[in-house]
Chain A
Amino acid sequence: MGIEIRDLKKSFNGKEVLKGLNLDIHDAEVLTVIGGSGQGKSVLFKHMLGIFKPDSGRIVIDGVDISKLSDDELLKVQSKFGMLFQSAALFDSLNVYENVAFGPRHLTDMSERAIRKRVAEVLDMVSMPGSETFAVASLSGGMKKRVALARALATSPKYLLYDEPTTGLDPLLAESINDLILALNRQTKISAVVVTHDMHSAFKVSDRIAFLHDGLIKEIGTVDEIKKTKLESLKNFINAGNSV
């Protein structure tokens, strides 16, 4: 049924970050949200996850308005999401296996044997087979992102959120993450929402692109439609991104 965001407003210390944002995310699509720093992209993600409560507006996930749920009900909706955080956000007190097994252990009634199998499977999907015993501190930036992606995939989420997936990676690694996002979407039909500044990445992985500016979605469309935009601020953003 997808995600529906209607008239979402949020302020911090009197500053309005989201000013009545509307957005729909369809099943099995890759939607990329682009926009400058401080425009509220991460805030939007945190509302979708129920971590932030909106000042007003609705966030409806598969027909359920999450702004009215109790903590326990919200946890059930949150478990439909996997998220790749910008900093990977791996638990550094746990090794790779414990990190990837964390979701299945807390969200499913899988046996330890089944979890072990699932962990191996998702690590294989992200090209990190056999890394179960590695300490998080020993991983490079790209490896951390891959393990974080495996952790997000381990519970077979319906929606995957990628926060700046290619930021801080070298071009080859960034390209491999783009390929991975595409491959996962094609293989698993998971709906993906990507937040990025990286226009190359946005054009490569997206079915649709939304431009977030001044607290609102100013433009939304397919890659071709966005490339032909007449909106000046979006044109400037794309041109600046392409020239980097």
Chain B
Amino acid sequence: MKTYIEKTLGEIGDASALLYKTVKAVFRGRIDWKNTIDQMLFIGVNSVSLAVLCGFFTGMVLALQTGETFRSVFNEPIYVGLAVGYSMILELGPVLTSIVVAGRAGAAMTAEIGTMKVTEQIDALYTLGTEPVEYICVPRFIAFVVTLPFLVIFANCAGIFGGLIVSLYKFGIPFSKYWEEITQMGLPDLFHGLLKTLVFAMIIAWVSSYNGLVTEGGAEGVGKATTRAVVTAMVLILTTDFFMSSLLISMGIG
């Protein structure tokens, strides 16, 4: 038990040190821009269709369930636009998109870094005058922080559009009514969702990099590290979501 606690504390310490080094390098401007842009394209372009698809169907199912529930209670499918808009922008857009991106881009990132580790490419960086954190973690960290908010915005728009289609064709709610409810949301609501997205982006980049860098044991090790990275990122996203939501609500943001 003592060994397990020592090991866990050691891992938390190492992971925290990695986050500190990464953030420090970002603020010192030690950024490989070519690599960063490549990563942005990899994360953004390759994940955009997935984010839009997930957002679209989430919006549709939200509208369907809300409309049906309110119709059975109030005999009328009311507040569908409101439910879809708030749910997407405050919660489901940021959380679901982050989880999808963690499963797609985060997993690919851990597998790539893990393979570099077990094939000694990380060690090779030292002999070529390059700090691995600056070459590997910083570009990916910036790429996630810049790209994920855009993916969430696309997912939110797709979700609201999906909700509109169900509202129009399933419940016969007029576009003007749906849109009026959507526009009741203010800037603080958008800010609430995007602030959480920024933190989720940092979590995915950090957890994926850390698990990649500590990979050991060949192909099997890469597989284990990738699984661990995705599971850890998902759990952290969901737990952080609750605490951040509580904090932001208590501060009057969203």
Interface set of A (CB-CB < 8 Å, partner B):
46, 49-51, 71, 75, 78-79, 81-83, 85-87, 89-92, 102-103, 106-107, 151-152, 155, 157, 161
Contacts and interface: CB of A to CB of B under 8 A. Distances in A.
Interface of B: 116, 119-121, 123-124, 126-131
Contacts of A91: 116, 121, 124
Contacts of B127: 49, 78-79, 81-83, 103, 152, 157, 161
B148 to A, nearest CB: 22
A99 to B, nearest CB: 9
Contact of A87 (B119, B129, B131): B119
Contacts of B128: 79, 102-103, 106-107, 151, 155
Top 10 closest A-B pairs, CB basis?
Answer: A107-B129, A89-B120, A89-B124, A79-B129, A103-B128, A85-B120, A83-B127, A106-B129, A89-B121, A106-B130
A117 to B, nearest CB: 19
Contact of A50 (B121, B126, B129, B130): B126
Given A75-B131, A103-B128, 5 more contacts: A49-B127, A78-B126, A90-B121, A106-B129, A107-B129
Contacts of A79: 127-129
B123 A49 contact: yes
A71 B131 CA distance: 8
A46 B123 CA distance: 8
A157 B124 CA distance: 14
Contacts of A50: 126
B5 to A, nearest CB: 16
A189 B128 CA distance: 20
B24 to A, nearest CB: 10
A103 B120 contact: no
Contacts of B129: 75, 78-79, 103, 106-107, 155
Given A85-B120, A87-B119, A49 B130 contact: no
20 contacts: A51-B126, A75-B126, A78-B127, A79-B129, A83-B124, A85-B120, A85-B123, A86-B120, A87-B119, A89-B119, A89-B123, A90-B121, A91-B116, A91-B124, A92-B121, A106-B129, A106-B130, A107-B128, A155-B129, A161-B127
B94 to A, nearest CB: 30
A78 B122 CA distance: 14
Contacts of A83: 123-124, 127
Nearest to A159: B127
A162 to B, nearest CB: 12
Contacts of B121: 89-92
Contacts of B116: 91
Contacts of B123: 46, 49, 51, 83, 85, 89
A151 B120 CA distance: 14
A97 to B, nearest CB: 14
Contacts of A85: 120, 123-124
A87 B131 CA distance: 20
Which of B120, B124, B127, B129 neighbours the largest number of chain A CB atoms within 10 Å of its CB?
Answer: B127
Contacts of A87: 119-120
A44 to B, nearest CB: 14
Nearest to B130: A106
B120 A49 contact: no
A225 to B, nearest CB: 31
B249 to A, nearest CB: 41
A86 B124 CA distance: 11
A122 to B, nearest CB: 13
Contacts of A107: 128-129
A49 B119 contact: no
A157 B128 CA distance: 10
A89 B121 CA distance: 5
A83 B127 CA distance: 7
A96 B120 CA distance: 17
Contacts of A82: 127
Which of B119, B123, B124, B130 neighbours the largest number of chain A CB atoms within 10 Å of its CB?
Answer: B124
Nearest to B133: A71
Contacts of B119: 87, 89
